[in-house]
Amino acid sequence: MSQTPALLLSATLICAGVWAVHQDLLFHRISNRLTGSLLCAGLAIRMLAGAWGGLEQSLLGVLVGLGCLLPFYIARAMGAGDVKLLAATGALLGPYDVWIAAICTLLIGAVLAVMYLTGGAIRAVAHAPAGSSWKIRIAHAHLRVQELRRARMPYALAIALGSVAAMSQSTELTRALSPMWGGA
């Protein structure tokens, strides 16, 4: 992949990630407009970079991205927007790198989920009625954690961070950008 498509790929992935995180944090959903635009951009950039072979890699990336998170959607552990976001990201990254992104996303998501639940429990303990015993405070924390578990955690941050981590480890992208960094 030459420098221009690689830079375009990186910029598109980062901008889409920021937009998705913003939407997910504010509205608890990722719009089809974003995922559709990202899918089309990924197909176009990959085709620009590698003609029909690039298109093939892009479509395989979509299928791998979709397949990685679809079981979580079926189990109602994740929203459809999250699944579509990783699938559209696969159009940019290709099959191997979106697989790495999915693994990174799940690891980052697990850490964020623990932080999300722990933070909710701590806030519940802190906001318990004044003079409450620890038993009552712990009961408040338990109720708050149960509420947070029923509500979906905004997962776009994990997907964006996992995708950027995979992109930073991409040998294809590193090779394309190495002349800019003074490498061979």
Evaluate whether 93 touches 61 at the Cβ level (below 8 Å): yes
> Quick one: which of 106, 69, 110 has its CA closest to 86?
69
Spatial separation of the C-alpha atoms in residues 122 and 102, rounded to whole Å: 30
Per the structure block, which two tokens stand in for 184? Answer: 């061979």
* pLDDT at residue 42, as a whole number: 93
* pLDDT at residue 183, as a whole number: 52
Task: Give the 3-state DSSP-derived string for the chain, with helices as H, strands as E and coil as C.
Answer: CCHHHHHHHHHHHHHHHHHHHHHHHHHCCCCHHHHHHHHHHHHHHHHHHHHHHHHHHHHHHHHHHHHHHHHHHHCCCCCHHHHHHHHHHHHHHCHHHHHHHHHHHHHHHHHHHHHHHHHHHHHHHHCCCCCCCHHHHHHHHHHHHHHHHHCCCCCHHHHHHHHHHHHHHCHHHHHHHCCCCCCC
Q: Write down the pTM of the prediction.
A: 0.82
* pLDDT at residue 86, as a whole number: 97
* pLDDT at residue 94, as a whole number: 93
Phi, psi of 30, rounded to the nearest 5 degrees: -115, 125
Query: Residue 112's CB: how many other CB atoms inside 10 A?
Result: 17
* pLDDT at residue 61, as a whole number: 96
* pLDDT at residue 80, as a whole number: 94
What is the chain's pLDDT, residue by residue, as a tens digit (184 residues)?
Answer: 556 677 888 899 999 999 999 999 999 899 999 999 999 999 999 888 878 888 999 999 999 999 999 999 999 889 999 999 999 999 999 999 999 999 999 999 999 988 888 887 787 777 777 777 888 778 777 777 777 777 778 899 999 999 999 988 876 655 555 555 555 4
